[in-house]
Structure 1
């Protein structure tokens, strides 16, 4: 069950001034009880723009919340989401609304959160109390703050795609999924151990095609076939005895190994190597290519909120694969994994050799550097 809290404060300053105090980490540290660090700017090199990343350290350093700015309507609406708050935090979304008043402005700050273990209401009360204490300090600062001319962050999403445009983009994405399914089916028919990674990749694409609520669904649909091309080309080279990338050479080689005493070990090693090749090698190139081909006039960081929202597809795909693995090929921890939340399991798996969440962030940063958004 989720829980929420809201604070309403009348501030003796303009909405633009309140916006600066509320959204710039350098200003937020003047009143917040929780230290805030800017991890990366968003669109236009601004800390208050879509795609910006920041880290909030809760009082006493007990936990860190990593946030991404998801939506801005300067100077009246600011939305952020915690994309990484530890394995127990399942949801955390904040929205700040500013309304001009005859004397200053009114702030409405709403947070909705959910944690594992049924402790959502307890955590909401704790964080809500801390936010309230911070806002007491903000009120005092706002009353003495001078207005600073600022045009605000640029609007993201220049134009939403039409239904016809999305339908056209979906055709090659679905074709890519059919090809991935055919590859996995072929491996299964041949009793080829490469089937396990091929199948999980098929499931990842399936989950991506079912994702809802993205602000830029056209971007995701355009990414799928480009991503697929790197995968299929490297597989073809490997099967032809040619030279795939070093990461894919290692991945496919590990996938083909067998261990009669512990058949689950090569499965997991092959999967981790395949995921590494997929994320570390192919993903940055696919992101950069799609950006150059379709969105050269837009900042790649505009798409970062959508990118971070895709994280659950990897958990969903691995769940499907774990359910299909023969008992002899299941790791010992599989029964435990099915009983805990995917975020807890992913955190534990990350300690075994490859943390998907962290590596996906690195992949995005590499793509952003490649298209020179800074």
Structure 2
């Protein structure tokens, strides 16, 4: 990880500086990179938490897709690149505005990491130079009228005890289901196992403080499980099952004695597709209407994007469990490649988890509204 920090004194108020730093039309007056607002965040604002931006670097060939993670009007603004290509592992920034007797001081801190140390150093030096050039242009501009501050909704502290207990009970039940299927040598065990690993990874991220709204993430787990368990019970009893889950569980049951890894992989992909495409939008919107209707769903988009690695981690854990005969030939090579690059290569050949997860949240926003 490389980090740089730049400061500039600005002859304007903190509110004017905020407008120039967060409104794409104003940003394009000084930024050497082109900024486009893809989707506004909380309050339909470009500076709202959950807003999505596309940053086209000079030359036009490289694009970074950013999400606004935190926004404290006229004080601090945090963003993170959630999609910068498979080689970019991490890139985030913070802009802090401090009042001064003659205006304000902007402090811009950026952190980034690529798959190699050399590439990280080269990118950090390049981006630092571009940001420095942009800030020189910013300091010479006539400031605009400031935007109105957002309406801040009061929030109370949340006790996580109940929601974590419920999520932990779900994990226990999911493990018992996977164990039951394994005891019967039922090939549905593999998807059941990876599903429990996804739940376990979500709990781990909450425990490590990796999300801003752990109550929301923990509350999602039982809602996800409700759809998953209902589909499995229906399939096993011969009752009507939703089409995507009918196809998924049917795929999970297939066997191929010559190539045992083929039905396993197809079953896993079908199950993941059913979870993401069919269940995620409904589960997220259902929870929102039931427990978070007084808040803008887009406020939770940064946490949702932070959960993306759980699928890679769960897949890796399952690959460790699979017998050698059930592992695809490429797993040995994949183990030597960074998971992010491996997932990008797999996505080109099959189901793109990241792209479908992104679309699922957008669909949830539509359903909730």
Global fold match (TM > 0.5): yes
Aligned pairs for 1:18-37 within 5 A: 18-37=17-36
Structure 1 residue 90 displacement after superposition: 1.0
Structure 1 residue 294 displacement after superposition: 0.5
Structure 1 residue 348 displacement after superposition: 1.0
Task: Determine if contact 1:43/1:153 at 8 Å carries over to the other structure.
Answer: no
> Secondary structure, in 3 states, of the residue corresponding to 1:210?
helix
Query: C-alpha distance in 2, partners of 1:155/1:310?
Result: 26
1:233 paired residue number: 230
More displaced 10-residue stretch of structure 1: 272-281 or 335-344: 335-344
Structure 1 residue 157 displacement after superposition: 7.2
2:143 paired residue number: 145
More displaced 10-residue stretch of structure 1: 242-251 or 20-29: 20-29
Task: Determine if contact 2:80/2:93 at 8 Å carries over to the other structure.
Answer: yes
2:171 paired residue number: 177
TM-score by length of 1: 0.95
1:194 paired residue number: 188
Cα deviations by residue, 1:4-50 (Å, 9 ceiling, x for unpaired): 11110011111111111111112111111111111110000001110
Note if 1:5 corresponds to 2:4. yes
Query: Residue 287 of structure 2: which of 282, 285, 290 is its match?
Result: 290
What count of residue pairs does the alignment treat as equivalent? 365
Note if 1:80 corresponds to 2:79. yes
Structure 1 residue 259 displacement after superposition: 1.8
Note if 1:257 corresponds to 2:251. no
Task: Determine if contact 1:92/1:111 at 8 Å carries over to the other structure.
Answer: yes
Query: C-alpha distance in 1, partners of 2:123/2:73?
Result: 30
5+ residue gaps, structure 2: none
Query: C-alpha distance in 2, partners of 1:248/1:194?
Result: 12
Structure 1 residue 63 displacement after superposition: 1.9
5+ residue gaps, structure 1: none
1:14 paired residue number: 13
Task: Determine if contact 1:40/1:53 at 8 Å carries over to the other structure.
Answer: yes
2:161 paired residue number: 167
Query: C-alpha distance in 1, partners of 2:193/2:62?
Result: 36
1:279 paired residue number: 276
Structure 1 residue 252 displacement after superposition: 0.5
> Secondary structure, in 3 states, of the residue corresponding to 2:113?
strand
Note if 1:307 corresponds to 2:301. no
2:124 paired residue number: 124
> Secondary structure, in 3 states, of the residue corresponding to 2:33?
coil
Task: Determine if contact 1:73/1:155 at 8 Å carries over to the other structure.
Answer: no
> Secondary structure, in 3 states, of the residue corresponding to 1:60?
coil
Task: Determine if contact 1:193/1:255 at 8 Å carries over to the other structure.
Answer: yes
Structure 1 residue 339 displacement after superposition: 1.0
1:266 paired residue number: 263
Structure 1 residue 278 displacement after superposition: 0.5
Query: C-alpha distance in 2, partners of 1:50/1:230?
Result: 29
Structure 1 residue 160 displacement after superposition: 3.0
Structure 1 residue 156 displacement after superposition: 6.5
Structure 1 residue 62 displacement after superposition: 3.1
Structure 1 residue 217 displacement after superposition: 0.6
Query: C-alpha distance in 2, partners of 1:24/1:189?
Result: 58
Cα deviations by residue, 1:139-192 (Å, 9 ceiling, x for unpaired): 121xx22433x332344672231xxx2011111111111111011111111111
1:95 paired residue number: 94
Query: C-alpha distance in 1, partners of 2:65/2:365?
Result: 19
Following TM superposition, where does structure 1 have runs of at least 4 consecutive aligned residues deviating by more than 6 angstroms? Answer: none
Task: Determine if contact 1:288/1:370 at 8 Å carries over to the other structure.
Answer: yes
Task: Determine if contact 2:17/2:143 at 8 Å carries over to the other structure.
Answer: no
TM-score by length of 2: 0.96
Structure 1 residue 58 displacement after superposition: 1.4
Query: C-alpha distance in 1, partners of 2:59/2:329?
Result: 37
Task: Determine if contact 1:184/1:199 at 8 Å carries over to the other structure.
Answer: yes
Query: C-alpha distance in 2, partners of 1:296/1:130?
Result: 42
2:239 paired residue number: 242
